[in-house]
Structure 1
Amino acid sequence: MSSLSASSCRSRFLGADWARSLGCNPISFVRHAVGALLAQRVAGILGGFEDARKLVIFQVPNGPLSVELKNLGLNFFVNANGLLECRELGAEVNPDQEAGTLYGFRSGLVLRAVGAGGNQQQRCILTPLGAVSWTREDFHVSVRITSADHYGRFDIDQVLGQLTCAPEPELLYTKALLHALTSFALPDGLTRRTGAEESLRTLESGRGQPW
């Protein structure tokens, strides 16, 4: 994934409030505000996680290029590394989206920690929580989640070899479902288990039992 540069924006600046008050299709706004090419690059990075038509991309005077995912309550900006950084989570989009598991899941977004106390080895997968769909893709499967109004976070634990999350039923069952849907004959690199095995392991755990 190539980095983004705010300097690549050659169009006029627009205030954030004015941008939101336009009341037009965000992508239409994007074309006029920051240029179609840059908008396409941003959509290529975040479009799997959130519907590209819902991305609001703008740049205020003397500020970084920003992307608002209003439906999910998240805001990104282009940081000094030329990468999209999430203000709420203190993490940037990892150029390497390889998570070692959930192969074929198209709606996940891998982030890595930034900041003085951040460790770039600390990574997580953000996933929208909504309607799940899947289709066959070559010899595997393509899984997507759409129509979401909130998201979940799964931390990538390299030591334990698994995805971890808060002990909430929606997150636990979503994790189990995604592992099951993306299961393959060969084990995943992170878990050393197939998706089906990891799904059953999650459901059979103490936290996976009905409350």
Structure 2
Amino acid sequence: ENRQYLINRSSSFFKNLFTKYFIRLDSESYVYMLAENDIINIHLSRLGIAFKYSSQHNTITSREYSDMHVDDNQCFGTLTGLRSGLLLSPMAAIEHKNRHQLCRKLIVPYGEIRISKKPDRYHQTVTINRTSESKSPFLHKYFVFNLNDRLRILQPTDSPTGWLYLALLHAVTSHCLPDQYTGMTGMERSFELLNSAGSWSDQPFDPVCRQILLQIAIISPQVNYYPENNQSMEKIEWNPDYLPYSLQHFGYYLIAKKLLEASEEWNFMYSTSATPNNDELEQLFKSKKYNEKLLMKLYWDYRDSYNPLARLSPQMEAEIQRTSIASSYKPIWENSWGC
């Protein structure tokens, strides 16, 4: 009869494994380990996934992906600064077999994105807050992204939720320089995902998608006129403790709202329970925190400073040109006469 023994969380063995790998997925209270002979079964109870540590081979294999193990090197050249997520590599990679056919996987838990920036560091740090069950009842969810080494991109496995979440992660981990793995900035890859068909839906978004859209929308700075009934002064409230100002793209709010509107065009075909009303996302779009017409104007003013991949779709840009009544900024020398 094989007996299993619960490993003490205060032991050095538990703490070493947890702090090196599994803290990237969930809190310590949701991780437990059971010893059985020379095998350690590692369970993440809230996420519902498990791993197996072999002391003989010194490897941690996945229960859900039995042919994959936890990679010792958790750096993969993109999503820089993200402190959550566990990288899995195929077991065949250890023996260097069929390397051209291998596909690594990244497991990322769902939660509220937190961004911090220290003065002595060149890149922001991104963590996923998973402590508030009442605020987010979907903390049992996680996403799996495939690393396509031929295309040099991360690929979501479910649509549209995975596409939106990956776009959010790329947006908040972006930098002015391109990522080593993708060859593009996080902002470029984020808009590439948001503009692609995988992010759009012809049925109402579920609550998880709506929470992700909310986090995408608030990346844009809050803009309004001052005073509000006059257009003589533009007020932009950049978030100094968030992303660098150059990465707080004006288009995130606009495309998030457009995605929501497109998903609600066929609302009459679905039950009212499938279309949440007056949630945080709905309140944001109804509030006066963002002057949408001014946001369109500012997007157009800054448009040429964005790389072509980090722009709204041609259809959205054409719509902005039709609906925006405010005149865009023009340098003074364009109106001056030469001598």
So what's the TM-score if we normalise by structure 2? 0.50
Q: 2:87 aligns with which of 81, 101, 110?
A: 110
Query: In structure 2, what is the equivalent of residue 160 of structure 1?
Result: 151
* Rounded Cα–Cα distance in structure 2 between residues aligned with 1:70 and 1:174: 22
| 1:102-141 to 2 correspondences below 5 Å | 102-114=79-91, 121-137=102-118, 138-141=121-124
User: Secondary structure, in 3 states, of the residue corresponding to 2:126?
Assistant: strand
Supply the AA of the counterpart residue of 1:30: R
For the Cα contact (< 8 Å) 1:113–1:119, is it kept in 2? no
Supply the AA of the counterpart residue of 1:66: N
Supply the AA of the counterpart residue of 2:23: G
Tell me whether 1:84 sits opposite 2:67 in the alignment: no
| Deviation for aligned residue 1:170 | 1.5
The structure with the greater share of residues assigned to strand is 1
So what's the TM-score if we normalise by structure 1? 0.79
| Deviation for aligned residue 1:115 | 6.4
Task: Note the residue ranges of structure 1 that are not aligned, 5 or more in a row.
Answer: 1-12, 20-26
Runs of 4+, deviation exceeding 6 Å: none
| Deviation for aligned residue 1:158 | 1.1
User: Secondary structure, in 3 states, of the residue corresponding to 2:39?
Assistant: coil
The structure with the greater share of residues assigned to helix is 2
User: Secondary structure, in 3 states, of the residue corresponding to 2:9?
Assistant: helix
For the Cα contact (< 8 Å) 1:127–1:153, is it kept in 2? yes
| 1:23-34 to 2 correspondences below 5 Å | 29-31=8-10
* Rounded Cα–Cα distance in structure 2 between residues aligned with 1:84 and 1:113: 11
Query: In structure 2, what is the equivalent of residue 41 of structure 1?
Result: 16
Query: In structure 2, what is the equivalent of residue 4 of structure 1?
Result: none
| Deviation for aligned residue 1:204 | 0.6
Tell me how large the CA RMSD over aligned residues is: 2.2
Supply the AA of the counterpart residue of 1:146: N
Q: How many residues align?
A: 183
Task: Note the residue ranges of structure 2 that are not aligned, 5 or more in a row.
Answer: 131-138, 203-339
Supply the AA of the counterpart residue of 2:128: I
Query: In structure 2, what is the equivalent of residue 67 of structure 1?
Result: 42
Query: In structure 2, what is the equivalent of residue 15 of structure 1?
Result: 4
Query: Per-residue displacement from partner, 1:85-107 (whole Å, max 9, x unpaired)?
Result: 11111221111111110000100
* Rounded Cα–Cα distance in structure 1 between residues aligned with 2:9 and 2:195: 46
